[in-house]
Amino acid sequence: MEIKTFAAIDVGSFEVDMKIFELGGIKEDSRTKKGTGAGSHIRQIDHLRQRIALGSDTYTSGKISTEKLDELCRTLREYGQIMKAYKVDDYKIYGTSALRESENALIILDQIRQRTGMSIELLSNSEQRFLGYKSIASKGEVFRRVIEENTAIVDIGGGSIQISLFENDALAVTSNLRLGVLRVQERLNSMNVGSSQREALVDELVMAQLSTFKKLYLKDRTIKNVIIMDDYLSYWAIRKAGNDAEKSVVQLAEYEKLLEKLRVLTVMQAAQMMDVQEEKVPLIFISAVLLHRICELMGAEKIWAPGVSLGDGMAYEYAEKKKLLSGEHDFEKDILACAANISKKYMGSRKRGETLDHIATTIFDSMKKVHGLGKRERLYLRLAALLHDCGKFISLVNIGETSYDIIMATEIIGLSHREREIIANVVRFNHSPFLYYGELQGKGSGLDQNAYLTVAKLTAILRVANSLDRSHKQKLKGVKAVLKENQLILQVDTLEDLALEKGYLKKSGSFFEEVFSVEPLIRQRKQI
């Protein structure tokens, strides 16, 4: 059983958080030689937090100051020494909204690299939400039990709030609101208002966005449980429950009593009650008000505070990639569910999307030796199939371009900006003429050569899949793809006339042959 020591560093809006974990311990089944999950674990062995309010710079001036940079470099060097003492095998450092939104982010990241030898990766909102989600999923059985009922995950950070809604044990909707506690506090400080006015002003700042969220996503949904991730309230709840995540469930009525106390206590009294530093109390109050408004809006009955942070998700993801644990939750299903909901929002055809998904993945799986792509690229293809016609909502003439714009403007949980651009281009070129690398770069594309080749390969496959259902009537009762030397034989079962499909395959097949040096051919096996 391999065990690794891993450090997860989160450079947030308010503080730099480092968690050190012991990962691994998967036991193998003697018969199958596969991990059983028994004995696998993620065990936190240390947790350090250093306040550096990067967001105070970003959300007021738009840039991170030299003073804050100096503090950050000093902290990272100290964390580096601590990692050496623990003999950490590997580490990751992620930056969130304060770094991501800073105008001088690239300069800051380069300075950190030069001065500390450490590299920080910036997370997109969707990637951050997904890691937060994995943090909660790391709680295993408790997590699975909670999401059996309609549930929302609310991640209240310094710069933003991420809300994710569950339906039928899978993620259905995710949205990002620029309403983080530090951003709200800086806005309140700029207004120079007294403590008695703060709650009313927080309401005014947040209710417009929350009302829009309700109209878009809550009109047909009832939420029973809210899972809270934040830097303040969740830690209070888990301590109150004796560090037992399963018991850190608060009824809404009980939570409202806490809020009432916070309204009347002095800063010192509140700090003593919650066992936090006094400087954190104003942020706790803002976080408490935000959470209460969200719960009211959703009609939620219970709040679960598992006491996790982004670092837990970083550890979970690392352990998954290194096969140090056997994850039981299907995160790919969640990403696909989000894409399906985006398609539904833009009146996409669910039935045709599923048909294209099936045909495209059948071709992909038969071509593994030729295309050289992996599991992640297979997911891109499936997402492109589900989103293939979302642009029709805006234009029936320029479907490719409008689909591209929709996908690039919509965050898909778990995907980076680069991954979203790959998928958007595959959907675009399924409808529009394919642009070669030089042409695409001339139009401002940020794709590198490897990403471009992925786009070309997936486009070629999706075009062939599209040809086999060109009538949109789902004529095929079965599809089998067999690779024979320089030909891909598509064996289809149907009694219907395929003249239209064969005609379109001839056209799309030329690009497929250009990309793979393989000719796609239809072989019709008529059903009796």
Please give the average per-residue pLDDT across 289-310, as a whole number.
90
pLDDT at residue 328, as a whole number: 65
Does residue 526 carry a pLDDT above 70?
no
CA dist list (Å): 431 to 391, 452, 463:
10, 17, 8
pTM of the model as a whole: 0.79
Q: What letter would DSSP give residue 71?
A: H
Domain boundary among 123, 158, 187: 123
Average pLDDT, the chain: 87
The answer on 480 and 449 residing in a single domain is: yes
Domain boundary among 72, 96, 123: 123
Does residue 460 carry a pLDDT above 90?
yes
The answer on 213 and 98 residing in a single domain is: no
CB 51 within 8 A of CB 26: no
Confidence category of residue 378, pLDDT binned at 50, 70, 90: very high
pLDDT at residue 30, as a whole number: 43
The answer on 146 and 119 residing in a single domain is: no
Q: Is 269 part of any domain?
A: yes
For 395-411, what is each residue's pLDDT tens digit? Answer: 988 999 999 999 999 88
pLDDT at residue 25, as a whole number: 64
Q: Is 129 part of any domain?
A: no
Confidence category of residue 527, pLDDT binned at 50, 70, 90: low
Please give the average per-residue pLDDT across 435-446, as a whole number.
84
Residue 57 main-chain phi, psi, to 5 deg: -75, -55
pLDDT at residue 142, as a whole number: 80
In the chain, how many H helices and how many E strands?
22, 14
Quick one: CA dihedral 7, 8, 11, 14, positive or negative? Answer: negative
Please give the average per-residue pLDDT across 384-389, as a whole number.
95
CB 326 within 8 A of CB 35: yes
What CATH number corresponds to the domain at position 235? 3.30.420.150
Confidence category of residue 327, pLDDT binned at 50, 70, 90: low
Residue 477: closest CA among 501, 490, 493: 493
Does residue 356 carry a pLDDT above 60?
yes
Percent of the chain with pLDDT over 70: 94
Does residue 113 carry a pLDDT above 80?
yes
Q: Is 318 part of any domain?
A: no
The answer on 114 and 236 residing in a single domain is: no
Q: List all residues 6 or more positions away from 159 whose beta carbon is below 8 Å from its beta carbon.
A: 13, 55, 58, 59, 96, 97, 98, 101, 178, 180, 182, 183
Confidence category of residue 68, pLDDT binned at 50, 70, 90: very high
For 473-500, what is each residue's pLDDT tens digit? Answer: 766 777 899 999 899 999 888 767 777 8
pLDDT at residue 1, as a whole number: 57
For 417-438, what is each residue's pLDDT tens digit? Answer: 899 999 999 999 999 999 999 8
Q: Which of 39-43, 64-68, 186-190, 388-392 is least confident? A: 39-43
CB 23 within 8 A of CB 319: yes
pLDDT at residue 494, as a whole number: 77
* Between 36 and 390, the higher pLDDT residue: 390
Q: Is 252 part of any domain?
A: yes
The answer on 113 and 50 residing in a single domain is: yes
* Between 528 and 472, the higher pLDDT residue: 472
Please give the average per-residue pLDDT across 24-53, as a whole number.
66
CB 125 within 8 A of CB 94: no
Does residue 265 carry a pLDDT above 80?
yes
Q: Is 312 part of any domain?
A: no
pLDDT at residue 31, as a whole number: 43
Domain boundary among 95, 123, 151: 123
The answer on 351 and 281 residing in a single domain is: no
Please give the average per-residue pLDDT across 445-453, as a whole number.
91
CB 338 within 8 A of CB 412: yes
Residue entry with tokens 């050190």: 20
Number of structural domains the chain divides into: 3
What CATH number corresponds to the domain at position 493? 1.10.3210.10
The answer on 48 and 151 residing in a single domain is: no
Confidence category of residue 465, pLDDT binned at 50, 70, 90: very high
Confidence category of residue 35, pLDDT binned at 50, 70, 90: very low
Q: How big is the CA angle at 448 (ends 447 and 454), to the nearest 5 degrees? A: 80
Q: Residue 197 is part of which domain span? A: 139-307
Q: List all residues 6 or more positions away from 32 whose beta carbon is below 8 Å from its beta carbon.
A: none
pLDDT at residue 39, as a whole number: 39
First CA to last CA distance, the chain: 55
pLDDT at residue 29, as a whole number: 46
The answer on 185 and 53 residing in a single domain is: no
Please give the average per-residue pLDDT across 300-323, as a whole number.
90
pLDDT at residue 195, as a whole number: 67
Return d(Cα 88, Cα 90) in angstroms, integer. Answer: 6
Please give the average per-residue pLDDT across 150-177, as a whole number.
83
Q: Is 134 part of any domain?
A: no
Q: Is 130 part of any domain?
A: no
pLDDT at residue 147, as a whole number: 78
The answer on 161 and 257 residing in a single domain is: yes
Q: Is 170 part of any domain?
A: yes
The answer on 235 and 147 residing in a single domain is: yes
Q: Which of 114-123, 209-218, 366-375 is least confident? A: 209-218
The answer on 146 and 81 residing in a single domain is: no
Please give the average per-residue pLDDT across 171-176, as a whole number.
78
What CATH number corresponds to the domain at position 46? 3.30.420.40
The answer on 152 and 198 residing in a single domain is: yes
pLDDT at residue 143, as a whole number: 81
